[in-house]
Chain A
Amino acid sequence: MRRNRERSADRIQKETDGRNPVWPLFSGIHRAGRFLPSPKPAKRSLLSWKRFAAIVKKEFIQVKRDRISMAMPFMMPIVMMFLFGYAVNTEVDQVPTAVLDLNRTAESRAFIEHFAASGYFRIDGFVQNEQEIKTAVDADVIKVGLIIPPDFDRKIQRGETAAPQLIVDGTDPTTARTAFNSGMLVSEMATRQLLDERLKQLGGISLKAPSVRVTTKVWFNPEMESVRFTIPALVGLILQNVTLMLTAFALVREKERGTIEQLIVTPIRSFELIVGKLIPYIAIGYMGFLFALSICMFWFSIPVAGSLPLLLTVGFLFVLCSLAMGMLISTFAGTQLQAMMGMVFILLPSILLSGFIFPREAMPPLIAALGNFIPLTYFLEILRGIVLKGVGMPFIWKNTLMLGGFTLLILSAAMLRFRKRLD
């Protein structure tokens, strides 16, 4: 090596633009001598703001350069809210219906007219026999078949119970249930009216039978639109997804790219590293939350009935909670792909069990109890409470407390696992 050094001197000159490549290094800070120790501080404070600031700054620059991370808090609300706001609609109306009218009288036509006018059914056509209904249901052309028996008008005129038949395709339970319920409602109303008219024809008097009628009033969502139920909850779900994903990726990235190897030999403390790395994601996660909330308020016109500052405060708490979950995932995953798989384990249950779409009241007690271990469950109740009902702290303090508890618990677990030593 020494012998060859002269020979390659000219190549080195080329590589270094003809300048002496090195020296002296650290001009002005001369070393005292080979064998003198350089003074180093022996005692150090628990947290160094310089180190902390260096990490925060570095992470901000990295996020800024990462287009996907920057786009996520905006793209996810847009895509998910429009998807759920328009495509996912649990209200069923205009169910395609075929009619088999075996009676063909004024009464039967009036009855069919009631179905068409209700808005729940769309009369797509009339068929000649039951087999045609079966074929149409099989072909998925219709969901409902209405069969009116030949003796329909006679039974009504005699004051007997007429028995029209409603055939419902039960493949999709939501559609079937709605069709079934509205079918019952429509026919009851139609029969009552037909009966009324019949009685009037007979004697010119209207029969006033004593009856009990429940008057109903729906609060908070008078039209019972599912959008008002789904969209505010989406704000919470999106907030969780964005924060969780970005956090998990950010921490795993250092492992995957090997930069963590360099960091663990520096004086950085794991506390400084974690908190420093997370600050930018608190900011981004919160931005996503604000953006999703604005879509909810201004595009879907669902105003916040309660206190907006309260919502923003609890929202911040939930950002922290999601962040902690992302961190916990990152301590298990070695690569971003593994982190992605870990996220599925959190995201799917939080969609299914939190009451985001499926009401927790309908779940078996054991499954509903599982939902109690998902922070999103508590945040959704808070979110819907503030946005739709306009409730304040007296009604949400319990959930807020639970959320805070979860945040502390998950954060400590992640911190403990995120040890600086490798063994």
Chain B
Amino acid sequence: MHDGQAPFYAIEVEHLTKKFGAFTAVNDISFQIPKGCIFGFLGPNGSGKSTTIRLLCGVLQPTSGYARIMGRDVVKDTETVRHSLGYMSQRFSLYEDLTVEENLNFYAGVYGLSKAVRESRKQDLIRMANLEGKEKKLAGTLSGGWKQRLALGCALIHKPDLLILDEPTAGVDPVSRRVFWEIIHALARQGITILVTTHYMDEAESCDIVSFILDGRIMDHDTPQNLIAAEAGARNLEDVFIRRVERATGHAVSGTFQEMRFIHETES
């Protein structure tokens, strides 16, 4: 799979399964993501995306199978894996009562960076997030886009090889969303592998590889272009996504408002 010294894949997942009691959240999934790729991880809510991410971070123990990050096993080598991992959660886990600078300082300290390294990276990250002049502002007073980019900064301060973004653009305005994706693409160009979950299909289409996960199983794993081409009549990834869900559940995904007669009834 890799030549020992320099693994080709940033993420290798083999027969990974996670059960919570009788419920199987992640069901025998396998995939590989080459380094420097942007990997879009798609699926409806509750399909097993977050559980997979937690398994990759070594926060949850897999029931069976294994996952490797940068060639290192996430269970046996958890601490090393965590040093090469940047994570940004849905809720932008910032300390709102700390300033922009203090948030960055804290995560720099958590990853054991020296002061010199910290200061130079902090400057770069503040420039990246365009937070210059806001260093002394409390994170809680920033608006969504700034918070999101500060959270990204905190996830990048230790220079991770793999960046995991769990719905990073949920609840952020379109302009900030675009700026954020510009940053993501630039990071990938510098060799950072990115795993991103999203419900925005335009974002997913700009990924190098996407996976559909449904009920804990990987349904597809290919480039967005190939996926659209393979699905007859699909114009975009959104069509592909909806067809997949329809096929898996056996129900047409459409509005059922007609059935709600009371909306049209006049009250007596």
Contact = CB atoms under 8 A, between A and B. Distances in A.
B181 A62 contact: no
A21 B153 CA distance: 13
B191 A422 contact: no
Contacts of B178: 5, 8, 11-12
Interface string B85-116: 10111010111111000100111111111000
* Among all A-B residue pairs, the 9 with the closest Cβ atoms: A54-B109, A262-B93, A1-B202, A258-B91, A34-B36, A265-B87, A34-B191, A1-B206, A50-B112
A44 B79 contact: yes
B161 interface: yes
A423 B59 CA distance: 8
A16 B61 contact: no
Interface residues of A, number: 60
B259 interface: no
B68 interface: no
Nearest to A48: B112
B141 interface: no
Contacts of B91: 258, 261
Contacts of B183: 21-22
Interface core residue of B20, B128, B183 (most chain A CB under 10 Å):
B128
B105 A12 contact: no
Contacts of A35: 6, 8, 35-36
Nearest to B99: A61
Contacts of A218: none
B144 interface: no
Interface string B170-200: 0000111011011100110011000000000
A15 B111 contact: no
A204 interface: no
A27 to B, nearest CB: 6
A25 B130 contact: no
B6 A61 contact: no
Contacts of B102: 58, 61
Contact of B120 (A28, A37, A422): A28
Contacts of B156: 25
A40 interface: yes
Interface string A13-45: 011110101111111110101111110111010
Nearest to B193: A34
A265 B59 contact: yes
Interface of A: 1-2, 4-5, 8, 11-12, 14-17, 19, 21-29, 31, 33-38, 40-42, 44, 48, 50-51, 53-55, 57-58, 61-62, 65-66, 257-268, 420-423
A29 B108 CA distance: 16
B109 A53 contact: yes
Interface core residue of A57, A265, A267 (most chain B CB under 10 Å):
A265
B124 A27 contact: yes
Nearest to B201: A1
B110 to A, nearest CB: 5
Contact of B161 (A29, A37, A258): A37
B191 A31 contact: yes
19 contacts: A2-B205, A4-B202, A8-B178, A15-B130, A22-B182, A25-B187, A26-B120, A26-B159, A34-B36, A37-B5, A38-B161, A48-B112, A54-B108, A57-B106, A58-B98, A257-B96, A258-B89, A258-B93, A421-B59
Contacts of B112: 48, 50-51, 267
Given A21-B130, A422-B54, A66 B97 contact: yes
